[in-house]
Amino acid sequence: MSVGFDSAKYIELQSQHIAERHRSIGGKLYLEMGGKLFDDNHASRVLPGFTPDNKITMLERMKDEVEIIIVLNANDIARQKVRADLGITYEEDVLRLVDVFRERGFLVENIALTQMADDNQSARAFRSRLQRLGFKVSRHRTIKGYPANPDLVVSKDGFGKNDYIETTRDLIVVTAPGPGSGKLATCLSQLYHDHQRGLKSGYAKFETFPVWNLPLDHPVNLAYESATADLDDVNMIDPYHLSAYGEQAVNYNRDVEVFPLLSRLLEVILGESPYKSPTDMGVNMVGHCISDDEACRQAAKEEIIRRYYKALVNETRNDLESEESDRIAIVMGKLGISRLDRAVVEPALKIEKKTKNPAAAIELADGTIVTGKTSELLGCSSAMLLNALKVLASIHDKVQLLSPEAIKPIQDLKTKHLGSQNPRLHMDEVLIALSVSAATSTQAQEALAQLRNLRDCDVHTTTILGSVDEGIFRNLGVRVTSEPVYQVKKLYRKR
């Protein structure tokens, strides 16, 4: 895929913009992180050239001025909410994020638990764990009427009941494992407490999507709408920005809807609101750094189709109505694209139709399509993986990287001793067997060396993946989609 985004330019412009906003505040700046700070894989997919760690790389330029606060909704701890892209709980992701930030030299010592009720035992246990690890943990309450009752919210019975987060630096990035964590409320709570202490401070939002200075119907903005379809987010022209400046800017419904209340809260806290529109609050130079608009348009269309398949699979797995996928289907209709515009879909479906068994297809970096079919020895994903590695390593198709004699003992172990009813090798088992073979086979060594070249390749399977193969694809950095059907119909499935 062609590079469509200038990362170096983004790092330069974005860091300048944040520094300017900080100077204009003249005190502490609480910078709410919209989206992921470290591993923004969505941005890297729709803006080819934007690396997942672009934003934190940019902040490294000013890391001696930056302090990071991580915010976690206590209710997400109680319900054991999981980050779908990583397969870990939000509380474990907090610890992962701390490690990542500290490895890069950032100051992270404060964690805020929001909407924390007295009877939330899971959150209390996690708070104790964090304190044993040496963190300063602040507890924020649920405020009745937030944000609709500013007089209550901005009072000793509102933000006044929240713990004040003691920070030591003036540029504070407020981030979280995912949406709904309470980042904005945490920033506003801090403004309230700073004001009570006579400290000057302000708020801004570190934005990425939607891109305010791209058209409303630009595929990059529509890809964001697809990514947040589960939240029922809709991009729209910011009416406040249009009224104040006579300029069209794109924002999304939740920010636009809450702006009058947010503006009023800022007025009550600070005496006046520094912003005339929700777009004003954002610090976002992404639109100025697109170097190849057509490349980004195409990448965004691909992402929308992936999101559509992801929604279909989620609805099938959880017996949900088709609300999310229907919303994304509308977006696809606006762009005139369909699920078959994903290059790996039709080749996989053709193999399935021919063999009457599940199949898979992968598109390599040079556009080559490689398929895999189900056999007595291998699942379709495992077969496709071996076939792709052979193509990348220029190994003849007839060469068996794993002989039936090598596979048979693994199958016996699975079915006779480990209670599995499926004798076919999953991808993790294939990779282990291939690694063992590499000790004596140069071809196996050559094939294994090609694993790194699968990153960012697209895959499609004709049935829903099991958790093992799904995890391997994720670890390899492969962008996988699946048809929303199971190979075998069952009411109960192990997760």
330: which residues sit within 8 A by CB, 6+ positions away? none
- Indicate the DSSP class of residue 105: T
pTM of the model as a whole: 0.90
The correct CATH number of 7-221+236-289 out of 1.20.120.1200, 3.30.530.20, 3.90.1170.50, 3.10.630.10 is 3.10.630.10
Answer with the residue of higher pLDDT: 420 or 80.
Answer: 80
From edge to edge, which strands make up the β-sheet containing 479-482?
Answer: 369-373, 359-363, 458-461, 479-482
134-150 pLDDT per residue, tens: 999 999 999 988 988 99
pLDDT of 491 strictly over 50: no
Domains 7-221+236-289 and 344-482 share a fold: no
Q: Tell me, what's the pLDDT at 495?
A: 43
Q: Which of 60-74, 93-107, 362-376, 410-424 shows the lowest per-residue confidence on average (mean pLDDT)?
A: 410-424
Residue ranges of domains in the chain: 7-221+236-289, 344-482
Q: What whole-number distance in Å separates Cα of residue 422 and Cα of residue 425?
A: 8
- According to DSSP, the residues that pair with 425 across neighbouring strands are 378
* CA 419 to chain CA centroid, nearest Å: 35
Q: Does domain 344-482 have CATH number 3.10.180.10?
A: no
Angle between helices 293-317 and 219-227 (to 10 degrees): 20
254-272 pLDDT per residue, tens: 899 999 999 999 999 999 9
Local confidence band at 492 (pLDDT 50, 70, 90 cut-offs): very low
281-321 pLDDT per residue, tens: 999 999 999 999 999 999 999 999 999 999 999 999 999 99
Q: What whole-number distance in Å separates Cα of residue 377 and Cα of residue 423?
A: 7
pLDDT of 86 strictly over 80: no
Q: What whole-number distance in Å separates Cα of residue 482 and Cα of residue 106?
A: 39
**CB neighbourhood size of 413 (10 A):** 12
